[in-house]
Amino acid sequence: MASSSLRADQEALLEKRLNQPPPGLQRPEDRCNGTYLIFFSLGIGGLLPWNFFVTAKEYWMFKLSNSSNPAVGQDPEGSDILNYFESYLAIASSVSSVLCLVANFLLVNRVSVHVRILTSLAIMLAIFVVMTVLVKVDTSSWTRGFFAITIVCMVMISGASTMFSSSVYGMTGSFPMRNSQALISGGAMGGTISAVASLMDLALASDVRNSALAFFLMATIFLGLCTGLYLLLPRLEYARYYLRPICPAHVFSGEDELPQDCPGAPLVTPGPSDPHTPALCPILKKTANLGFCVFCVFFITGLVYPAVCTNIESLHKSSGSLWTTKFFVPLTIFLLYNVADLSGRQLTVWVQVPGPKSKVLPGLVLLRTCLVPLLVLCNYQPRAHLRTVVFQSDIYPVLFCSLLGLSNGYLSTLALIYGPKIVSRELAEATGVVMSFYVCVGLMLGSACSALLVHLI
């Protein structure tokens, strides 16, 4: 039974052999892991700007409360903006992400991946330049206008980030799995950097404007770096080898069969080879099991993180120590979760079990559901219905949050790196966009249901 399951997994991952270049063409090495590091950096660049945008919460509260003009700050309309600001951001981010994923799928064969990636980077870079300039501008006389600009910027940042990440992820479908893993791990590193920056800001910053300026400048510089690294990618011999254009699949016939990769074709970043929308049904059929796993992993994560996790308080909060009051949530929730998530994603470099067709993978994904009641029964506050705190120690939320992050990183990365590998190479990029859609829908529905869960506690 075990051998037949292993054979099925191997067959699934080797389906793309027909899509690989002929044996006569020597496979170059990834010198100094250059391509790996570029994809890792692009993974950071895909999420770091969005993370920094959200991390600057105190800055947004300062700007929207008209702190420079207390009289204006008492405006009831302004208080409405403050009370629901995070909800507005979440809605703007979710809607634009879904729409851009749909648009990206429709554009896969119509607009070159090169154009989509560079356009996304340019949009994010322009937005952060604008936001950096606005940090030092007094907006107290036009708070609602600043709020509108902020929401529009979030829509554009979220949409461009989604377009960028899904396009690069789809492109890695033509590369060995370690490069997809590098991109996905880079995204987790972006979250970790953001958590560390938030802690440093909490400990050292005295002016919210200066900390926001540092966040936005870092994001701007890193986006510029990502643009340069992406332009460098096609110049690497290893990357050019996997970026060759794909020949039509119908050329296979008897003794005259030809590989889908044209050995004589110029080694350039592939452009659209088919003006039509990729076939969706074959992708959905092939990736149904993996798509279910990705959706469930991010649904469970979105259900409890951050809504439940960030409201778990130390049982010794009354002591008044900095650890139990100021740093408990930033350290044990934000930083710990992101480090565990990054560790889980990096673990897939060495361990890739269970395989893409194994029934163990969805079983492990469903097992994560147990983490929901475990976290709820920690010292979540305030409690209106479930008044009993079962886990009477601060070590429990640390343990459960670590398991949440580790399992999220490992299981989601496995499913995501398998996805583009079990379809033909010409569908790999479109499959990457579809897998990104599973991620987005899982997080969006999980976050929506988290509001109901919080009200039940």
- All structural domains of the chain with their residue ranges: 30-244+259-272, 278-457
Measure the CA–CA gap between 137 and 10, rounded to whole angstroms: 58
Measure the CA–CA gap between 92 and 236, rounded to whole angstroms: 38
DSSP-assigned letter for residue 75:
-
Q: How confident is the model at residue 253, as a pLDDT? A: 32
Architecture of the structural domain at 30-244+259-272: Up-down Bundle (1.20)
Residue position matching structure tokens 């074709």: 265
Q: How confident is the model at residue 265, as a pLDDT? A: 41
Assigned CATH for 278-457 = 1.20.1250
Measure the CA–CA gap between 95 and 151, rounded to whole angstroms: 12
Do residues 355 and 9 lie in contact, with contact meaning Cβ atoms separated by under 8 Å?
yes
Could you tell me which residues come within 8 angstroms of residue 308 by beta carbon, excluding any fewer than 6 positions away? 372, 375, 376, 380, 450, 453, 454, 457
Q: How confident is the model at residue 71, as a pLDDT? A: 45
How far CA 445 is from CA of 152, 312, 440, in Å, comes to 23, 22, 9
How far CA 131 is from CA of 122, 125, 157, 195, in Å, comes to 14, 10, 11, 20
The reply to whether 30-244+259-272 and 278-457 are identical in fold is yes
Q: How confident is the model at residue 254, as a pLDDT? A: 31
- Both tokens of 418, joined, read 């398998």
In degrees and rounded to multiples of 5, residue 380 shows phi and psi of -70, 135
Measure the CA–CA gap between 267 and 43, rounded to whole angstroms: 24
State pTM to two decimals.
0.83
Sign of the dihedral defined by the CA atoms of residues 355, 359, 362, 364, in that order: negative
Q: What is the mean pLDDT of each run of 10 residues along the chain (457 residues)?
A: 52 46 68 94 89 81 67 51 76 87 90 93 94 89 90 92 93 90 92 85 78 88 94 93 64 34 42 65 92 96 88 86 83 89 94 91 96 93 86 93 96 94 87 92 89 85
SS3 of 232, please? helix
Measure the CA–CA gap between 9 and 38, rounded to whole angstroms: 29
Do residues 215 and 52 lie in contact, with contact meaning Cβ atoms separated by under 8 Å?
yes
Taking residue 304's Cβ as centre, other Cβ atoms within 10 Å add up to 27
Q: How confident is the model at residue 67, as a pLDDT? A: 52
Measure the CA–CA gap between 413 and 406, rounded to whole angstroms: 11
